[in-house]
Structures are given as structure tokens and as C-alpha cells.
Chains A and B, each alone.
Chain A
Amino acid sequence: MPVINIGGITDAISGAMDELTAVKEKAQDAIQTGTNVIRAGLETIPQVLPQMLPAAAAALATLNYRGSQGSFLDIGYPITLAAKFMQISQEDNEHLGRPLMQPKRLEQLAGFTLCKNPQIVINGSIEEEEAIQTILASGFYIE
């Protein structure tokens, strides 16, 4: 709820009824003293106004707002980078290796190796050459 902060008028608000009665009497006096009501009113403003306006203004005072209520709600939350990870099955690097996907001189590698479409030329029989290519394509161990 907005807080009404009207300073010294707060006191005037609490005594509004009493002051309205006084205003009534003062106004009636002002009217009775002169035939020209407006002139009488103008002349009595310095006397009437100080008593009338506090009560009247207080009686009719409203509070106008600018701005909307801000929020400190976001300040309570830390900045968070949250991550969720899905686990994968146990690894067997010795017998299955890991993806490499590039041309390699085989002497630079060790252990299990799997090749794609291997090509090799040996000083041997065609059967031996085909056997080597079959083994390279099905997985072998460089030891």
C-alpha cells in the first residue's frame, strides 16, 4: 500500500471536522459583512484562507503517484549456470579405441587401430595382401 506522506497536513486531517465548522462560521461572516459577495470574499481571503484551505485541502487531499513499485525480487537470486549431463556406458579404450577420423601414418599410433578402406602393397602374395587389408579394416593392434 502506498504510504501517504503529507507532512504537516497530517495534523490538519485529524481535525478536519472542527475546522470545517470554523470555516462555516467564517464564511458566513464574510458574506454578511458586504453587499458585493465577491469583493467581500476577496477581502476576507487573507483571513479566511488560512483557516479554510488546510481543512478543505485536507478533506479533499488525494495522493497521486508517479512511478510503479519496483522489485528487489531478482536480487535474491544468484546468477546460475546450471548443467545436466547424461552418462554414457563404460569405456573400453584398449579394445575399442576412440574416434580419430583422419589419415595417419600407422607408426605414429599404438594399440588398437581401426582403418577404413585400407590399401597396402607388400612383397608377398596377393592372398597375404588381402589378408592384411582385411585385418586393418576389422581392427588390429599396433604393438
Chain B
Amino acid sequence: MEVQEQDQDQTLDHAANLGVLGENHREFLTFFLSDQEYGVDILRVQEIRQWSPTTPLPNVPTHVCGVINIRGTIVPIVDPRICFGMATIERSPMTVVIVLRTVRNDRERYVGLVVDAVSDVYDVAIDKIKATGDLGGGAVSQYTSGMIALDKKMVVLLDIDELVQVDDEQLDDVAQQEL
């Protein structure tokens, strides 16, 4: 298994300036949930914020922690730990929210992901991304779009649109029961 050499000092700003690096490369922002590192497409990252208490919503799936106010817009916060079946942890000043731009059914939605800490930005060659056929754990694999070896560790690349999908039909079903 080849290991991609990466410049450790690549900063977020540098990455932002680089933009799309061409057809063979993608850039990923990685973050930690416990000891596991995950990556998301940098182009989908809107901003990174410090954790602030959310307003919980009634009657929503557990992984939706609630909503927060970002400059006048209501943005839902999702806890990927719950999606992955992990234990949740106490939130601290180090806890970070990554606000992502997701696309589903031609609609753009901004959703925040609460993570333990942000790691780094990596420039990844697309052909080095491995498929996730044998990940084993059902919970994570439905949200992943691949895996990559970086700095001698395995980083799981996430499909944002799958992870924070909002199923409108689900709502109508619920409504139907009430009628």
C-alpha cells in the first residue's frame, strides 16, 4: 500500500486558495471522532465554528442535536457519533462544528457537523482512494465514499449528502398517521 507524502504545514488558507487542483486530485478536510480520522470534501466546507449550545427540536431523529443561529439563519447540527453508533461525549470548548453545504434533490442545505477536533487539509489523488467494500461495520459504511491512507493512518472519507440527508417523505408519512 503506497503512502501519500504530504506536506505537514499545509494550512486551511493555503488549501482554500488552491481551490480545485485538477481532475485527479481532491482536497479533504479531516477531523477526529475519538481516535478515528474522517475526511470531507473541502469544497463543501462553509465554515468552522466553536461549539455553542443548540436548541433541540422535538420529534426529530436523535442524530439531529438541534439548531443554532448562524448570522440570522437557522442551521441544524448533526452528531455523526450517533450516526455511527458511537458513544457521545461531553462537549468542551475544544468541540468544533463544521458547517457543510449539502446537496440533495437539487436543494442546497447548510448543516453543521459536531466533531471532536479538526485535523488538517489533505490533497488526495483520486486513484489512491479505496472503496469501502469491506469496512465491516454497517453503521459507517453507508455514509462513506471511500478510504485513503494518509500519514500511515486510514482516513475514512464521508459522503456528506448521505450523512445529513433529510427525508421529506418521512415527514409526510408521519403527518398521514396523524390525520
Decide whether A and B assemble into one complex.
no
